[in-house]
Amino acid sequence: MMGKILAVILGLSAVAAGAALYYLQIYGFYDEVAPTPGQDVVLVPLDGSAPQAIAYDRFQAIDADSSPIRYRACFTTDQRPDALAAQFSVTDMHDPRNAPGWFDCFDAPAIAEGLANGSATAFIGVKNIHFGVDRIVAITQDGRGYAWHELNNCGHKAYDGTVVGEECPPRD
């Protein structure tokens, strides 16, 4: 009898721990980002100077303090990717990270498909927004925009244990 009680307690504990882990990963750590007009969507110019704001509307974003790569944002813009590519740095980072299901404006597979088939263009928004992490901004031909954080070369080196080297900025 005592073994059955212990087995039930152990099973219930495992279910509770699993539910808590699921909740914390999907809902618990994310916060909505308060829009800062004129500063939320920026792109790095071709000359590598300071990022410049572009016109945007209907901005919504989420972020989490638990990881530098949990940022996701959606917005609209009247600017076209072709015109922006003539002024701002394009990137080949075409693999947006999935967002929680409840943040439904950000569909990572659809964004990746648009980047692959040319209906969207990815730009560098901010280099080293956190050590080893760049903000990537993708804009579609129909004026929808998305942003997420992606590990850059320094980030990949730092987090896989490779020697970082002098080309990477100092870590804060």
Other Cβ atoms closer than 10 A to 130: 17
Say if residue 23 is in the same domain as residue 53: no
Say if residue 82 is in the same domain as residue 27: no
Say if residue 16 is in the same domain as residue 37: no
Residue 116 belongs to some domain of the structure:
yes
Say if residue 24 is in the same domain as residue 51: no
Domain span including residue 146: 33-151
For residues 37 and 105, what is the distance between their CA atoms, to the nearest angstrom? Answer: 19
DSSP 22-81: HHIIIIITEEEPPP-TTTSSEE-BTT--S-EE---EEEEEEEETT-TT--EEEEE-SS-H
Each residue's pLDDT expressed in tens, for the chain with a length of 172 residues: 888 889 889 999 999 999 888 887 777 788 899 998 888 999 999 998 899 999 999 999 999 888 888 899 999 999 999 999 999 999 988 789 899 989 999 999 999 999 999 999 999 999 988 888 999 999 999 999 999 999 988 887 777 777 777 677 777 6
For residues 43 and 67, what is the distance between their CA atoms, to the nearest angstrom? Answer: 22
Residue 157 belongs to some domain of the structure:
no
Q: Could you give the number of structural domains in the chain?
A: 2
**What pTM does this model have?**
0.84
- Secondary structure letter of residue 90 according to DSSP: B
Residue 171 belongs to some domain of the structure:
no
Say if residue 125 is in the same domain as residue 47: yes
Strand partners, 150: 134
